[in-house]
Amino acid sequence: MNDSPDRLQERLYHDWLLPDEAREVRAQVRRFVDDEVLPVAGELNTVVEHRNAFPWQLFKRMAELDLFRIPFDSASWGRGLRYPLSCATVTMEELSYASDGLATIYDDHCVLPGIALLHGTQPVRTAYLKPLIDGSKVACMAITEPDAGSDLRVDTVLTRATSSDGFFKLNGHKRFITNAPVGDFATTLCGIEGQLSMLVVDLHAEGVTVGAPDIKTGNKVQLTADVWFEDVAVPPESLLGEPGEGLRIALQALAWGRVLVGGSGVGMAQAAFDESVSYMQKRAAFGRKLADMQHWQFRLAERATQICLARELCYKAALRHDEGEEFPEPETAMAKYYGTEVAGDMARDAVQVFGGLGFITRLGADGSTCRVEQIYRDCKVAEIYEGTNEIQKRAVARRIFGRGFLH
Ligand SMILES: Cc1cc2nc3c(=O)[nH]c(=O)nc-3n(C[C@H](O)[C@H](O)[C@H](O)COP(=O)(O)OP(=O)(O)OC[C@H]3O[C@@H](n4cnc5c(N)ncnc54)[C@H](O)[C@@H]3O)c2cc1C
């Protein structure tokens, strides 16, 4: 069950969209995934969440391979790529092919907080973005609260900062914050004087408490936790952008994140597809291979088409962004919801193809793990985080009907 199947992407998808630069990044990330991630993917995807479960070695390797530099220009210690979001999208696709948990560590470390930090002053960038990129500090993006997820308004976001003795005094409670159990700082959405704003907050500061890692259905190696702020003194220069720009900064980062989560859906769908095709060619029932059965041939033909379409949407959204469109709608929303929905549909089929083995986390007889069982667990959350799929459809509906019809 643990051998990697042939990759069928190249046979089924002719890439007429991506620039050479993104293809080169894909090749680099694929080498890393094949050599260093796939051999330990079973462990990453089944580990029980614990502070010590964070994959430090792979995190450091991603830094050494300059993967954290992909989104940024050379003045911000980045690679200075012409097509940074396209390159980050194929990075997510490749990482998710082996481990969506690892891919989300990447996204929630270097992309979401990293893009927000571009609104910081030069000293703030030097203090936070530089170590984020070289991997010496772990970053988080703290938006969600126990009572505010999709609906982010100054009335609903209860984390608030007030001015006090030349500092902001921060109080509040964030939930599901990826990387927080090992995090050094968090770009944090909060209310300041009645406006949503973004502060970068040192998670080692007095008054910050990070809870125990959540035990989740999937994405096991992605560690999330609650974070409490109690009278935390935050220096005024830690404000990113202007007061009142917090939601815009969050949405700007999420414009990246949504394309990347769509890309992660494509990566998971492709992995489940490849696993299914390989298994169908080996497994026999009623005297013939599953691959000989028209039911499964047609189902896989449908899924191959959907994966192709999802991939095109992600690349198109990324390319529009790379060409200067800050919020490339409706493609960003379409890419996120469709890419993750296809992952869910393909994963469900893949479990069915594998029969009982598709339901096995670890086989008692030999300790082996089943990749499609992992994808089935991992893919669900991609329909939820970084803006649920209903919120994405709302964005598409806004294009159809106009803002006046949405409340
Ligand atoms: C593993 C994991 C990692 C995460 N990482 C982070 C992180 O690093 N940082 C962070 O800030 N957050 C993070 N989150 C939180 C995540 O972004 C939120 O869970 C998500 O935005 C949804 O918010 P919610 O859970 O409060 O659901 P709610 O907003 O309460 O939504 C509940 C349901 O109602 C639906 N709904 C809401 N409004 C509408 C509407 N207008 N029309 C139709 N349906 C609607 C939603 O689609 C959903 O199905 C993470 C969550 C998980 C599970």
- Report d(CA 383, CA 358) in Å as an integer: 21
Whether residues 256 and 393 fall in one domain = yes
Specify whether 346 is located in the same domain as 239.
no
Q: Is 144 in the pocket of ligand 1 (CB under 6 A)?
A: yes
CATH number where 293 lies: 1.20.140.10
**Cβ-Cβ contacts under 8 Å for 300 (sequence gap 6 or more):** 273, 276, 277, 280, 349
pLDDT digits 0-9 by tens, 172-218: 999 999 999 999 999 999 999 999 999 999 999 999 999 999 999 99
Boundary residue ending a domain (108, 138, 168): 138
Per-residue pLDDT tens digits for 134-163: 999 999 999 999 999 999 999 999 999 999
Which ligand 1 atom lies nearest to the CA of residue 180? 8
Find all residues with CB under 8 Å of 63, minimum gap 6, and list them.
Answer: 133, 134, 135
Query: Could you report the per-residue pLDDT of 244-266, keeping only the tens digit for each?
Result: 999 999 999 999 999 999 999 99
Question: Residue 399: its pLDDT value, please?
Answer: 93
Which pLDDT belongs to residue 1? 52
Residue 141 in contact with ligand 1 by CB distance below 6 A:
yes
What is the predicted pLDDT for the residue at 181?
98
Both ends of the chain: CA-CA distance in Å?
49
Residues 273 and 354 in one domain: yes
For the chain, what is the domain count?
Answer: 3
**Contact, 72 vs 64, CB < 8 A?**
no
Domain identity same for 60 and 72: yes
pLDDT, tens digit (0-9, with 9 covering 90-100), for 328-341: 999 999 999 999 99
Do 105 and 13 sit in the same domain of this protein? Answer: yes
At residue 404, the pLDDT reads 76
| Nearest CA, atom 14, ligand 1 | 176
CA of 383 to the centre of ligand 1 (A): 9
Does 176 lie in the same domain as 291?
no
pLDDT tens digits, 35-89 = 999 999 999 999 999 999 999 999 999 999 999 999 999 999 999 999 999 999 9
Which of 49, 179, 341, 384 for mutating ligand 1's site (highest number of atoms within 8 Å of CB)? 384
Q: Is residue 3 part of a domain?
A: no
Q: What is the pLDDT of residue 4?
A: 84
Residues 144 and 132 in one domain: no
> Which residue range is the domain that position 383 belongs to?
250-405
pLDDT at 372 over 90: yes
Ligand 1 atom with least separation from CA of 144: 11
Of 205, 226, 246, the residue at which a domain comes to its end is 246
28 and 84 share a domain?
yes
Q: How far apart are CA 23 and CA 20, in angstroms?
A: 5
Residues 348 and 363 both lie in one domain: yes
The b/e string for 327-342 (b: 16+ C-beta within 10 A; e otherwise) is bbbbbbbbbbbbbbbb
Question: What CATH number does the domain containing 199 carry?
Answer: 2.40.110.10
Is 70 exceeded by the pLDDT of residue 407? no
Compute the distance from residue 382 Cα to the ligand 1 centre, in Å: 10
Nearest CA to ligand 1 atom 6: 177
Q: Does residue 392 belong to any structural domain of this protein?
A: yes
Q: How far is the CA of 179 from the centre of ligand 1 (A)?
A: 17
Between the CA of residue 371 and those of 2, 140, 260, 342, what are the distances in Å?
A: 7, 28, 21, 17
Question: Based on the domain organization, do 235 and 278 belong to the same domain?
Answer: no
Q: Which residue has the tokens 């969050």?
A: 250
pLDDT of residue 326: 92
Q: Which of 246, 263, 279 is the C-terminal boundary of a domain?
A: 246
pTM of the model: 0.97
For residues 145 and 148, give the distance between their C-alpha atoms in angstroms, rounded to a whole number: 5
Alpha carbon distance 221, 241 (integer Å): 32
Q: Any idea which of 8-17, 48-57, 353-362 has the lowest mean pLDDT?
A: 8-17
pLDDT tens-digit profile of 89-138? 999 999 999 999 999 999 999 999 999 999 999 999 999 999 999 999 99
Buried residues in 87-110 as b, exposed as e (16+ CB within 10 A): bbbbbbbbbbbbbbbbbbbbbbbb
Q: Report the separation in Å between the CA atom of 142 and the middle of ligand 1, taken as the mean of its atom positions.
A: 13
Ligand 1 centroid to Cα of residue 278, in Å, is 35
Do residue 188 and residue 62 come from a single domain?
no
Task: Confirm whether 386 is a catalytic residue.
Answer: yes
Nearest CA to ligand 1 atom 35: 390
Q: Is 276 in the pocket of ligand 1 (CB under 6 A)?
A: no
The whole-angstrom separation of Cα 244 and Cα 48 is 39
pLDDT of residue 289: 98
Q: Is 152 in the pocket of ligand 1 (CB under 6 A)?
A: no
Q: Is residue 206 part of a domain?
A: yes
Quick check: 164 pLDDT over 80? Answer: yes
Residue 148 resides in a domain: yes
Tell me, yes or no, whether 230 and 315 share the same domain: no
Residue 406: which pLDDT band, with cuts at 50, 70 and 90? low
Supply the DSSP symbol for 319. Answer: H
The reply to whether 324 falls in a domain is yes
Phi and psi torsions of 70, nearest 5°: -55, -45
* pLDDT range class, residue 296, cuts 50, 70, 90: very high
